[in-house]
Amino acid sequence: MDIDSYRWFVIHKAEAEVKLEFLQQIKEGKKIAILSEAGCPGIADPGQMLVAAAQDAGAVIKPLVGPNSILLALMASGMNGQHFQFHGYLPIDSAERGRRIRELEIISRRDGSSQIFIETPYRNISLLESLLKNGAPDTRLCIAVNLTGKSESVLTKTIDSWRKTVPEINKQPAIFILQAS
């Protein structure tokens, strides 16, 4: 396969136009692959919109095995991979986000589960600040940044330890996992 012969589409802020072109390609019988730059199409990713359109059009969908940043982060976190929940994005409002963080700690403490969530790279700092402000000192927090990239980092520390050494993650793709004790 010659990757240079592929036709590439970018979803970001052009969802309606890309979806129409995508459906046209399906009607023409083209084989299409959906890729994500940091994650997995259909899992907290705009690729879900195209997969849903393909399903509605009756196309055959074949998921391929490959890296998924959410599961890679969990695998490298040292946290409970037997019982976990993925929450996508936490609320943007700081008061609501603080409440949600405390709720996730209660669930984690009660069930012994890992709680996984993400944030857009440009809001990582505000999420991290909320975690450090609202999290219990002994809650473990994994911050996985730039997974599979050259500057990949996956570190798990207590909230108290993170408060002493706040990482610079601004505008970098990150996965957050917490587990309360």
How far apart are alpha carbons 105 and 140 in whole angstroms? 10
Q: What is the pLDDT of residues 164-176, one digit of tens each?
A: 999 999 999 999 9
Rounded to two decimals, the pTM is 0.77
| Model confidence band, residue 35 (pLDDT cutoffs 50, 70, 90) | confident
| Model confidence band, residue 33 (pLDDT cutoffs 50, 70, 90) | confident
Q: Exposure of 6 by Cβ count < 10 A (0-12 exposed, 13-18 middle, 19+ buried)?
A: exposed
Q: What is the pLDDT of residues 92-132, one digit of tens each?
A: 999 999 999 999 999 999 999 999 999 999 999 999 999 99
Question: Angle 98-101-102 (CA atoms, 0-180°, nearest 5)?
Answer: 90
* DSSP for 44-99, written as a single string: SSTHHHHHHHHHHTT----------HHHHHHHHHTS-SSSEEEEEEPPSSHHHHHH
CB distance 150 to 142 below 8 Å:
no
How far apart are alpha carbons 94 and 114 in whole angstroms? 22
